[in-house]
Amino acid sequence: MDYFAQQLINGLVLGSIYGLIAIGYTMVYGIVGMINFAHGDVFMIGGFIALITFLILVSLGLTAIPVILLVVLLVSMAITALYGWTIERIAYRPLRHSFRLAPMLSAIGMSFVLTNYSQVAQGARVKPIPPFITGGYTLHESTDGFVIQLSNIQIMVVVTTIVLLALFTWLVSRTRLGRDMRACEQDQTMAALLGVNVDRTISMTFVIGAALAAVAGLMYLLYYGLVDFFMGFVAGIKAFTAAVLGGIGSLPGAMLGGLAIGLIETFWSAYFSVEYKDVAAFSILIVVLIFMPTGLLGRPEVEKV
Amino acid sequence: MIVSSTNTAKPATGIPALLKTAFVNALIALVLFSLMVGIRTEAGSDGQLTYWTRFGEVASLVAAVFGGSIVIGLLRQWIGPNGTDKLVPPAVRSGMSFLGRYLAPVLLIFTVLVPVIFYDQRYILDLAILVLTYVMLGWGLNVVVGLAGLLDLGYVAFYAVGAYSYALLATNFGWSFWVCLPLAGILAAFWGVLLGFPVLRLRGDYLAIVTLAFGEIIRLVIINWQSLTGGPNGVSSIPRPSFFGIPLDNSDNGLAARLGIEYSPTHRIVFLFYLILALALLTNWVTIRLRRLPIGRAWEALREDEVACRALGINTTTTKLTAFATGAMFGGFAGAFFATRQGFISPESFTFQESALVLAIVVLGGMGSQLGVALAALAMIGGFELFRGLETYRMLVFGMAMVLIMIWRPRGLIGHRAPTVYLTKAQAISSDLVKEGHG
């Protein structure tokens, strides 16, 4: 039971990170109708920028942890958001009225560009950082000596995710930008006729998605203590799986799917085999698409002739 | 990477506007590159991260973006907004179509003669075999993507199934290549059907992701099922193919000894060359024949409009499954050939990059055009060889090329995907048959 509880905590933390990335996929799919294949690599770029900013701040002699965290968060969100904007501008906008597969292929190309760009720029080796946020709480200690740990970093990941989700839900449901986004999602031409700047709204979608991916990158860096140039690929596919599982286009669904994937992966590694955890996650994707093509919270797709 | 921040609706005109755009782009580039390029991190020997600055590189990249924006802006004004199609004069066009008609036979004759011309140049022969392997993979995937319009991002899985089928059957049971080749194809086709079933209901992007996941599952299983596949170490000492039972080696009953000629290792290379050429041509021939059968027509109809297909009574289930199975079978053949050529296979040869490369060949070749795919494979693999010295940069260039090709010519460089059958002119139908008059 204690082992189960510990795995539950670990799974929820991992799921929060996947959920943050999945929101980026689901938003872009909702508005533009394409899989932003490069989104996983945007997450990786976010992790790298967080690492570099962190390194500079520490070498400048800053010691106040909250200040460092805040600066790292803001810098990495800002620069990664600019990456997201640039990618949309270069690789996707010219293809908006092209044939169906073109944006997908362009996105795959962009994913290669980003992966290899960071390999060229930062080298192929794994970049570790020393544990930055330490300490935690012992929730429960059983008689056989097994301890349920809740570390501070785990609390931070979950709290950050909840705060960001609340902020993001407010943005989509209450602000002008959110209304524009929902309008574009339903009918771009009509939205444009009613005075919504469609290009700008789509750009903003990519910017917000990239910023959330940057937060996920920072969380990943703090939680696992390392980044490398290839981490975006697998994380990206899993986050996409999460988005599909939750029902693509649905924001709460993305978070729910992220948590589900995180839990499945953690429990699979805990009770079955670590080697096959990715196989389990990908199999879930296939099984979900067979039995529930619209996911947990998605709307059924209407066939248009 | 060139960032152009001008809106397409109001293109920049005049030098000041051009400079302003270039300046904005350079500023964006400065922010983008500032940390990722400007600061280089590396883990030291004690695990501690160190960093050093590279402001010179950032400055040159920003300058390149600035210059590039100006050049692109000028080019845009010069060419005009309507694309490049008008620039080709009719004389050149008719010349191109003349060339196109004779290109395929000339290319085929040249390919057949390659071992004769380059007999002494082992490097060129090896490269030619590699190119032909990708031509075959491209033609195989072309059935799925180009004809049936199903985006398959996990094609390398079938290549892996074929390669491992041959490698395991040959090393464990000592079966000959010629027995294993059809088996590899059948097994790959079986996996194709197995993948096909769950994805029947999916379309477009979903299908792409599921096939990608499938490719990753196959690769992960190969890595982790160590007792069968040897895991990351792969399978080694895979038997070389024989000339229908006669070994191509230095022994007394080898082909060279039987023919009474002096043995040379090049014999085997030349044999492999003709083997893959034959396999590739088989793929091409079968595809061309299938296109004329009802199933081929159904594939093309499926690609153009699935809903209409169903309305017309085409069984989309069998149509999709046969497309998957046929494509997978050719992938399996190519895999078996790959295993016997290399003599060693490991999961590293079957990554997603490989799938993307084959897909890029098909897309670059114009999705559906057989000649286009062959030329694209030649260009891609040849281009990869040119960048061999710059190992780390070549995937970067490859990705950029994919993006640029999609922007510049989304329908591919060479081919165009006209349906095999179509009405050349609108036919007037008697009003007795159709109420509205013209049909």
- Top pLDDT among A65 and A50 is at A50
CB pair distance less than 8 Å for A233 and B410: no
Q: Are B402 and B355 in contact (CB under 8 A)?
A: no
Start-to-end CA distance of chain B, whole Å, equals: 50
User: What percentage of chain B exceeds 70 in pLDDT?
Assistant: 85
b/e map B309-329, b = 16+ CB within 10 Å: beeeebebeebbbbbbbbbbb
Count of beta carbons in the 10 Å neighbourhood of residue B66: 21
The DSSP result for A263-277, as a single string, is HHHHHHHHHT-STTH
Using the Cβ of A112 and the Cβ atoms of chain B, whether some distance falls under 8 Å is answered with yes
Q: Are A123 and B435 in contact (CB under 8 A)?
A: no
pLDDT at A43 over 90: yes
- Give the whole-angstrom CA distance, residue A50 versus residue A217: 8
- Reported as a pLDDT band with limits 50, 70 and 90, residue B151 is confident
CB pair distance less than 8 Å for B411 and A52: no
pLDDT per position as a tens digit, B264-300: 778 888 888 999 999 999 999 999 899 889 999 999 8
pLDDT per position as a tens digit, B15-57: 888 888 889 999 999 988 988 888 888 887 776 778 888 888 8
pLDDT per position as a tens digit, B191-236: 999 888 877 777 667 788 888 888 989 999 999 888 888 888 888 8
Among B202, B221, B308, beta carbon nearest to A289: B202
CB pair distance less than 8 Å for B400 and A125: no
Using a 10 angstrom Cβ sphere, with 0-12 exposed, 13-18 middle and 19 or more buried, the burial of residue B203 is middle
Helix residue ranges per DSSP H, chain A: 2-32, 39-59, 65-87, 102-122, 152-174, 176-186, 188-193, 198-224, 231-246, 251-271, 277-291
**Which residues does residue B50 pair with via DSSP β-bridges, in sequence order?**
B42
For testing contact with chain B, the best of A197, A278, A279 (most B CBs within 10 A):
A279
pLDDT per position as a tens digit, B8-17: 444 546 788 8
- Residues of chain A positioned with their CB less than 8 A from the CB of B41: 51-52, 55, 122-123, 127
Q: What is the mean pLDDT of residues B324-331?
A: 94
What is the maximum span of chain A, computed from C-alpha positions, in angstroms? 68
- SS3 state of residue B119: coil
∠ CA(B343), CA(B349), CA(B352), 5° rounding?
160
For testing contact with chain A, the best of B76, B380, B407 (most A CBs within 10 A):
B407
- Give the whole-angstrom CA distance, residue B55 versus residue B68: 20
Using the Cβ of A122 and the Cβ atoms of chain B, whether some distance falls under 8 Å is answered with yes
For testing contact with chain B, the best of A49, A53, A104, A105 (most B CBs within 10 A):
A105
Among A104, A118, A199, beta carbon nearest to B205: A104
Start-to-end CA distance of chain A, whole Å, equals: 53
Structure tokens of B115?
A: 């071992």
Closest Cα in chain B, distance from residue A304 (Å): 8
Among A82, A119, A278, beta carbon nearest to B31: A82
Lowest mean pLDDT of A144-158, B149-163, B313-327, name the range: A144-158
What are the angstrom distances between the C-alpha of A144 and each of A5, A6, A9, A147, B298? 15, 15, 20, 9, 66
Q: CA of A107: which chain B residue's CA is closest?
A: B403
Q: Are A161 and A154 in contact (CB under 8 A)?
A: no
- Residues of chain B positioned with their CB less than 8 A from the CB of A35: 205, 208-209
- Give the whole-angstrom CA distance, residue B59 versus residue A19: 37
- Residues of chain B positioned with their CB less than 8 A from the CB of A198: none
Which pLDDT does position B89 carry in this prediction? 61
Q: Where along chain A do its domains lie?
A: 13-124+131-231
Which pLDDT does position A202 carry in this prediction? 93
Of residues B395, B368, B360, B10, the one with CA closest to residue B156: B360
Which single residue is written with the structure tokens 């590039």?
Answer: B68
DSSP H or E run through B41? strand B39-43
Domains and CATH numbers, chain B: 15-87 (no CATH), 118-430 (1.10.3470)
Which pLDDT does position B439 carry in this prediction? 41
- Give the whole-angstrom CA distance, residue B150 versus residue B146: 8
Closest Cα in chain B, distance from residue A140 (Å): 34
Closest Cα in chain A, distance from residue B40 (Å): 6
Closest Cα in chain B, distance from residue A223 (Å): 17
Using the Cβ of A34 and the Cβ atoms of chain B, whether some distance falls under 8 Å is answered with yes
- SS3 state of residue A150: strand
